[in-house]
Amino acid sequence: MAPRDLDRAPRSRGQTEGVSRRAFITASAAVGGGLMLDLSLPLYARSSEGAMSRGPATLNAYIRIAPDNIVTLIAKNPEIGQGIKTTFPMIIAEELDVDWKNVRAESAPYDPRAYGAQFAGGSLSVPMNFEMLRRAGAAGRQMLITAAARMWNVPASELTTEPGVVVHKARNRKVTYGQLAELAARVPPPDLSKVPLKDEKDFRIIGQFIGGVDSPRIVKGEPIFGIDVSVPGMRYAVYEKCPVYGGKFVSANLDEIRKLPGVRAAFPVKGGDDLAGLLDGVAIVADKWWQANKALEKLQVKWDEGPSATHSTEGFAKAAAEIGKQPAGKTIKKDGDVDAALASAAKVVEASYEYPFIAHATLEPMNTTAHYRKDGKVEIWSPTQLPQQAMGLVTKTFGLKESDVTLHMTRVGGGFGRRLSSDFIVEAVAISKEIGEPVKLVWNRRQDLQHDIYRPGGFHFFKAGLDAQGKVVAFRDHFVTFGEDNKPGNSADMGPNEFPATFVPNLDLGLSTIPYRIPTGPLRAPQSNALAFAFQSFIDELAHAAGKDPVEFRLELLGEPRPPEVLQTRFGTQVGFDNGRMRDVVKAVAERSGWGKTQLPKGVGRGIAFYFSHQGYFAEVVQARVSPVGEVRVDKVWIVGDVGKHIINPAGGINQVAGAAIDGISAALGQKITFARGRAVQTNFHEYPLIRMSQAPQVDVHFLQTDHPTTGLGEPALPPVVPALANAIFAATGKRVRKLPIDPAELRTA
């Protein structure tokens, strides 16, 4: 699955439920004694609605029970800070019935034959694996009970478990899992579709606040990230590419560079045309990374920049303004007669919105260690979100077989979608191939910002009509985005169900494209993170134009609860937007924030927004203050979310939600990538600021736990916070933020 597909899927994906009878579990004795369970399940099982989603790919999870009662879970998915290395063991431990203090977690090696799909993206880890891992734990518990029944020669029905032990109450006997492990390894595995699961009211681990299993190691600074990798004989490298994307190497002062201290090699690398793959560049290899990076300052390269050297942010904006005046090149969704409804509307509101390209700015810059051996075998150590894509790109680029490549997944120091791409991985492999030694490639911050796979910018030209009662009777958006021939580029599109689609009688969503050659891709809550700002800000404009309270206006627009659509998409049958669930989170956040009940001082305002993303329903209220010189400070954010029945780990869940909100605020307050002469302008954090601790607001997080399938939390809390902030600024100043990032000069009153 391509990176774009990974992050587009969850916008309307429902949780998969149930386990196919083809699922199976095998058992074997673990090395050193004990029990090892190998869980094999279909990647996508049949849903509770009876619909099949994609594919027969398998998931494999491994549970080890040692004689000392230590239970180890091999977590198959990359850990990128989303907490999956803690969440997966919690699910297993709950059904296995063990003490959390006896659980250990290990990250899996990359092995699709054993583990199926391994990736971190789309907030999919919990939805895809929740029931499967429950059943794995339940199967292990049943095997341990069967082993105890055989040992005591009693019916298994007489036995129960307590944490880490099997109990025979009739004879007051107990035996530990560790004592049973080897015997249990010889028990035929049960039918996973029939293993009994716990009554959810008896959960002891799921729903408890549990710290991240790696947190102590991170606090102590242990080397667990990709940038920490060290292998014998390793050199360090930097890789300089044309500042204009896809430009070709012509010449460089390589003889001069080779004479610099510590430099072992300096050479050009020939690449292709894939902007997310191996591109032309110059590699500098040295004994130490600092030496390579200092040598980079002396490097002078002549590039054939190509036609993309004409790209500029100013040019894009001018093109969008002209295109926006014309009819849309492509219709996304059309209901009723918008023109007629606008002509008869009591009030017509028009506004244009704009947001920039932005970078992921992960704190751990792109890096990979690679060793291309003389025998043609390649070994890679990399912080990747999508190892399967990385493996495919490496084998394709260098003409290798997968059996020739070993990929080690390290912990990831920030992903947010950036590490779904693998350009930095093939660069390291290419450098190692040239020098015949292991090499660690580390991008510097300038390269990290100027050669990102960016969140694309976009432009929206809205026009809506209100009737005499302030009800929306017509809604139009001409979305000008980036792509070719009205086909949006990676993460630059918009779907037909963007709210208020289906909630307005006359609606027209259209799209046109601006040609570009800049690498773009998913960033946390892709598409949604930008579309929410435009749509929810404009909806707030309509509320004020109607003379209505923003909360009441949104509830009126949502209407009375109605059954959600069942959508047939390329991802299978999916459940669409549930307005009843959204109404509930809107009401809850209004109540929790005391909406309309607090008299705010001058220059302070509150704004609200909601959004449906990655199957999560979130409504958020932001309180912000604006100084006379236009400086914005966010005081507090109230967030209410509905992601289904269970919050597996509230500690991790709250962190994910609060972190998403702070991410969104950080971007809104000052982050943009601008282009001039085809190249990115920003070079480091002084030009691309991240929010500081002193700027971070208090975040109040609350979950409505509803009787719906459990879904992911990494992304859906981000989209509403940006429009909620923009709407708060309007409430505080009477000035609309229609362009990101927020410009204090436009808010200045002094």
Q: What is the mean pLDDT of the chain?
A: 91
What pLDDT does 187 receive?
85
CA–CA distance, 540 with 395 (Å, rounded to integer): 50
CB 543 within 8 A of CB 350: no
Stretch 547-567: mean pLDDT: 95
Q: Tens digits of per-residue pLDDT, 190-243?
A: 888 899 999 999 999 999 999 999 999 999 999 999 999 999 999 999 999 999
| Lowest-confidence segment of 89-93, 541-545, 621-625 by average pLDDT | 89-93
Task: State pLDDT tens for residues 647-679.
Answer: 999 999 999 999 999 999 999 999 999 999 999
Neighbouring C-alpha atoms within 13 Å toward the C-beta of 510? 18
Handedness of CA 244, 249, 253, 258 (dihedral sign): positive
Q: Are 610 and 619 in contact (CB under 8 A)?
A: yes
Residue 448 has pLDDT above 60, yes or no: yes
Neighbours of 739 (CB within 10 A): 18
Confidence of residue 21 (pLDDT cuts 50, 70, 90): very low
> What's residue 274's pLDDT?
97
Other beta carbons within 10 Å of 113: 8
Asked whether the beta carbons of 3 and 521 are under 8 A apart, the reply is: yes
Domains and CATH numbers, the chain: 15-219 (3.30.365.10), 233-307+360-450 (3.30.365.10), 327-358+454-514+525-747 (3.30.365.10)
**Percent of the chain residues topping a pLDDT of 90:** 82
Phi and psi at residue 568, in whole multiples of 5°? Answer: -100, 110
On the question of pLDDT at 36 being above 80, the answer is no
The DSSP H or E segment spanning 290 is helix 289-298
Residue 20 confidence (pLDDT) above 80: no
The arithmetic mean of pLDDT across residues 343-350, rounded, is 98
Gap between the Cα atoms of 739 and 460, Å rounded: 10
Question: What single DSSP character describes residue 747?
Answer: H
Say yes or no to pLDDT of 53 above 80.
Answer: no
281-286 and 301-304 strand pairing: unpaired
Q: How confident is the model at residue 76 (pLDDT cuts 50, 70, 90)?
A: confident
Which pLDDT tens digit goes with each residue over 672-710? 999 999 999 999 999 999 999 999 999 999 999 999 999
CB 110 within 8 A of CB 422: no
In the chain, the percentage of residues whose pLDDT exceeds 70 is 91
pLDDT of residue 711: 93
The whole-number average pLDDT for the span 271-299 is: 98
pLDDT of residue 25: 52
